[in-house]
Chain A
Amino acid sequence: MEPGLLKSSDWPFLIDLYFFLGGLAGGAFVIATIANLLDGRRYRDVVRVGYYLAFLAIIPGPILLSIDLGLPTRFLHMLMVSKPSVDIGMSAITLGPFHLKLFSPMSAGAWALLGFGVLAFLAALDVFLEDRGGRSIANLRVAAGVIGGFFAFFIAAYPGVLLGATARPLFISAHWLGALFLAVGASTGGAAIALVLSLLGGRTRESLSQLMRFTAFALIIQLATLVLFIVWVSSAGSVGVSHALASLLSGPYGVVFWLGAVIVGLVAPLALQFGGVIKKAAPAMVALVSVLVLVGGFIVKYVIIAAGQVVAS
């Protein structure tokens, strides 16, 4: 692919922030669901914080996207629009004014955001009712958790698939971005729950240890998919691709990538976790590891999106 011709979407910081919060929300939701299914009473703190965090982190999503589009009503066009029936692409499903395009990850993502938003609200509402001394509606929590879990995975991964379906040289030959973004969602979701629990204190040491174990596992998947992403891109071997890869791995973005995404986001937290944090789960150390994972998780998404959008002059 020739580098000189292609244009960039010039997506601003808002989009990176949405992708990060969406991933975090998805990760926290899945963790809460799995903890709830295994033993809702024993992991009550993880379930509570997980569902609350998922809901709070997804609220800014539509707001950030609407700000980017300029007018709030414009976001609705992602879902519905009154138009004559025309050919709008392969596997487009239209029903009245509504449309879903299966091969447009942005279209599917908009629907998933709506679905996840509703289910994350229901799960958080159920936790809230219980907190207020009411009774949890167990069936609601399980149903919202399980169905929402699929949406949660989708919300975490789809931005990577969305990038892969552009002509940008760094993205079109990558293939692993969805898998990477999902792993980042899992690690940041786990870290966010662990951070809140470590700050709240109380009898949560077992939960902290398990969250650290899970986060360490997610970080290993994150590392593996990051390596696979780079290997896949570099094996594509065209001029445009090597330019794009060079802008990610060296130069100004290279510093951010190696320092932020690799050292702060992967090496340091993994070293701390296997150096005793998983075992002892001291709240201060858990908080430190969690902050590193969150910062690194944001940076890895930010730097890949930014470097991939650089246009050769």
Chain B
Amino acid sequence: MARTLAMFTDVSLCIGCRACQVACKQWNQLAPEEPEWTGTYQNHAHFTDKSYRLVRFFEQPNDQGSLTWHMMSDVCKHCAQAGCLEACPTGAIYRTEYGTVNINQDVCNGCRYCVSACPFGVVAFNENTGTATKCTFCNDRIHNGLGPACAKACPTESIRFGFRDELATKAQKRVDELKKMGFKDAQLYGSDQNGPLGGLNAFFLLLGKPSIYGLPEKPKLPQRNVVLDSLLSIGSAVVVGLGALVAFRTRGGNGDA
């Protein structure tokens, strides 16, 4: 396995220009969509089969009695423990040698299980092809020595691309810097490989709690439920089986047999 690649999105540098969103659409040749009015500059409300990068905008009441304007360029997290990848019954979703998560469009059979298994609502279903789609980490570019199109286009270096270990060190430095500057709630999301989902290969620097950005505080790998749920089902099966044995051992009401 090659060295793991990562994207680091620093929201403190994001200016909400959405160049990343446009660059992503261009490079990946994603078709145009009807604009969607969300009440903010955000368009669309969710990731779609034609929008793999999505700049989200949030307003949050602050101590000064006004609003703080947050913006964050969101993307597939390429989780080290990926719900979509584990859910996929066809093996279409696989992990590349760089640690990123990809969907093989020829193998995907359109069951949509991955769509509901993603803890971040990233995977989207394409009605035209009948397959699931999401950010590929610009698989074609990274295999040819280029970074993802979004990172290349970002004018403020809010999105950075590189080796995961190096980026994580840089990210930690940036958090310390921001804290010194007075952003006391600055924190990393997903950079810790011992954290939830084994760490995210697209991780973030946030200026407040993850919930401000609509992110789950502690995302959970849905497949962790399989063992317990199965055991409870087996318990239910044993009880039902014994019930059937007893019911058919006992004579029926009028007992004409």
Contact = CB atoms under 8 A, between A and B. Distances in A.
Contacts of A6: 116, 118-121
A128 interface: no
A275 B104 CA distance: 58
A75 interface: yes
Interface in A128-178: 153, 157-158, 160-162, 164-168, 172, 174-178
Interface in A45-75: 46, 68-71, 74-75
B243 A38 contact: no
A103 interface: yes
A206 B229 contact: no
Contacts of B169: none
Counting chain B CB atoms within 10 Å of each CB, which of A75, A104, A109, A186 scores highest?
Answer: A104
Contact of B236 (A68, A89, A179): A179
Nearest to B251: A206
A172 B248 contact: no
B41 interface: no
Q: How large is the interface on B (under 10, 10 to 19, 20 to 34, 35 or more residues)?
A: 35 or more
Interface string B99-126: 0000010011111110111111101110
B229 A88 contact: no
B76 to A, nearest CB: 12
A253 B228 CA distance: 28
Contact of B226 (A86, A99, A164, A176): A164
B195 interface: no
Interface string B31-49: 0000000000000011100
Given A104-B223, A172-B220, A206-B257, A182 B240 contact: yes
**Most chain B CB inside 10 Å of its own CB: which residue of A6, A94, A153:** A6
A177 B228 CA distance: 11
Interface in A84-117: 86-90, 92, 94, 99, 101-107, 109-110
Contact of B254 (A1, A7, A69, A209): A209
A161 B231 CA distance: 10
Contact of B107 (A81, A89, A209): A81
Contacts of A83: 91, 104, 107
A161 B246 CA distance: 27
Given A6-B121, A179-B232, A221-B239, A88 B250 contact: no
Interface in A197-252: 203, 205-211, 213-214, 217-218, 221, 225
Given A78-B90, A83-B107, A161-B233, A31 B253 contact: no
Contact of B250 (A157, A174, A210): A210
B230 interface: yes
Contacts of A176: 229, 232
Interface in B211-257: 211, 214-216, 220, 222-223, 225-226, 228-230, 232-233, 235-237, 239-241, 243-257
Contacts of B115: 7-10
B219 to A, nearest CB: 8
B89 A78 contact: yes
Contacts of A278: 253
Contacts of B109: 69, 74-75, 77-78
Contact of A210 (B215, B226, B252): B252
Given A75-B109, A165-B222, A280 B248 contact: no
Interface in A173-197: 174-183, 186
**A interface, size bucket:** 35 or more
A51 to B, nearest CB: 15
A1 B252 CA distance: 50
Contacts of A205: 252-254, 256
A172 B214 contact: no
A222 to B, nearest CB: 9
Contacts of A206: 251-257
A175 B229 contact: yes
A278 to B, nearest CB: 6
B88 interface: yes
Contacts of A43: 248
A34 interface: yes
Interface string B69-98: 000000000000001011111111111100
Interface of B: 45-47, 83, 85-96, 104, 107-113, 115-121, 123-125, 130, 211, 214-216, 220, 222-223, 225-226, 228-230, 232-233, 235-237, 239-241, 243-257
19 contacts: A7-B118, A9-B113, A34-B241, A42-B257, A69-B110, A78-B89, A88-B85, A89-B85, A94-B91, A99-B91, A105-B226, A153-B237, A161-B233, A164-B229, A165-B222, A167-B116, A182-B240, A278-B253, A279-B253
Interface of A: 1-2, 4-11, 30-31, 34-35, 38, 42-43, 46, 68-71, 74-75, 77-78, 81, 83, 86-90, 92, 94, 99, 101-107, 109-110, 153, 157-158, 160-162, 164-168, 172, 174-183, 186, 203, 205-211, 213-214, 217-218, 221, 225, 278-281, 309, 313
Q: What are the 3 tightest A-B residue pairs by CB atom distance, in nearest-first order? A: A209-B252, A178-B233, A206-B252
